[in-house]
Amino acid sequence: KNQVEQSPQSLIILEGKNCTLQCNYTVSPFSNLRWYKQDTGRGPVSLTIMTFSENTKSNGRYTATLDADTKQSSLHITASQLSDSASYICVVSAMAGTASKLTFGTGTRLQVML
Amino acid sequence: DTEVTQTPKHLVMGMTNKKSLKCEQHMGHRAMYWYKQKAKKPPELMFVYSYEKLSINESVPSRFSPECPNSSLLNLHLHALQPEDSALYLCASSQTGQLNTEAFFGQGTRLTVV
């Protein structure tokens, strides 16, 4: 069964600090791995998307890593801001016919405080 | 245009009502998805349309009826819903058959069944 596990479940940090979120997955056949940011009651917004051949990808203050051998990914947030408070969801894509089938992690709820 | 537009944003309906959720994208994507998300849970896949044909139905009750009238539109017809169907309904779209395909989500329809 395809699964995506994230840790920690929740995290509180002070503004300006860095943090790292973890994602472990067992999804086959692996297509790509995405990190999404979701504000409460809103749709997820893509931060990064990585294929098996990519180890690191950055998007502003967000840097994602992928180890396809150990099936692990991380999302590092640098110099956090209050607006970073949201749920961060790791999503792994498996090919299913002609469409991707996404397996969602349960997310990490990040709260950035003054 | 990288937007997926969902209407309405909020919907309150009785258990005997018939209503429809609408989703629209103009990115030329040929795969469109419906997800259901309960509070503090990850989105759950309901349906996948690929090239306007239903390719995945995740054993969703028949009171939810999807429709894809053309490559830009996706509807979800609702009839005789239960209070436990109250949730955030998310639409997404992506290219099909592309290894590096990106999925874009709409802002969701917040559905309350009374």
Confidence of residue A100 (pLDDT cuts 50, 70, 90): low
- For residue B97, what pLDDT is reported? 45
Number of neighbouring beta carbons within 10 Å of residue B96: 20
- The verdict on B52 touching A (C-beta cutoff 8 Å) is no
A13-50 tens-digit pLDDT: 999 999 999 999 998 888 889 999 999 889 999 999 99
Residue A2: predicted pLDDT: 80
pLDDT at B60: 93
CA distance B35 to chain A (A): 10
Could you tell me the pLDDT band of residue B2, with boundaries at 50, 70 and 90? low
Cβ within 8 Å, pair A96-B96: no
Asked if residue B95 lies in contact with residue B102, where contact means CB atoms within 8 angstroms, the answer is: yes
Query: pLDDT value at position A113?
Result: 96
**Which of A91, A99, A101 lies closest to A66 in space, CA to CA?**
A91
Residues of chain B with Cβ-Cβ distance to A97 below 8 Å are 50, 55-56
- pLDDT for the residue B46: 93
Instruction: Please give the torsion angle defined by the CA atoms of residues B36, A24, A2 and B94, in that order, rounded to the nearest 10 degrees.
Output: 50
pLDDT reading at B4 higher than 80:
yes
Write down the pLDDT at residue A94: 81
What pLDDT digit, counting tens, does each position of B78-89 carry?
999 999 999 999
Please state, in angstroms and rounded to a whole number, the distance separating the CA atoms of residues A71 and A93: 13
Residue A1 has pLDDT above 70, yes or no: yes
For A46, which residue in chain B has the nearest alpha carbon? Answer: B104
Give the residue on A whose Cα is nearest the Cα of B54: A99
Nearest to B99 among A31, A98, A106 (CB): A31
Tens digits of per-residue pLDDT, B12-62?
Answer: 999 999 999 999 999 999 989 999 999 988 899 899 898 899 987 888 999
Looking at the complex, report in whole angstroms how far the Cα of residue A45 sits from the nearest Cα belonging to chain B.
Answer: 7
In which band, very low, low, confident or very high, does the pLDDT at B102 lie, cut at 50, 70 and 90? Answer: confident
Residue A64 Cα, gap to closest chain B Cα (Å) = 16
Q: How many CB pairs under 8 A join A and B?
A: 75
Say which of B45, B96, B110 has its CB closest to residue A41: B110
- Work out the average pLDDT over A52-60: 92
Burial B31-65 (b: 16+ CB within 10 A, else e): bbbbbbbeeeebbebbbbbbeeeebbeeebeeebe
Given pLDDT bands bounded at 50, 70 and 90, which one contains residue B99?
very low
Task: Give the span between the Cα atoms of A27 and A49, in whole angstroms.
Answer: 15
B55 vs A contacts (CB less than 8 Å): 96-99
The residue of chain B nearest to residue A50, with distances taken between CA atoms, is B100
* Type of residue found at B98: Q
Q: What percent of chain A has pLDDT over 70?
A: 96
Interface test with A, best of B21, B24, B36, B37 (most A CBs within 10 A): B37
**pLDDT exceeds cutoff 60 at B100:** no
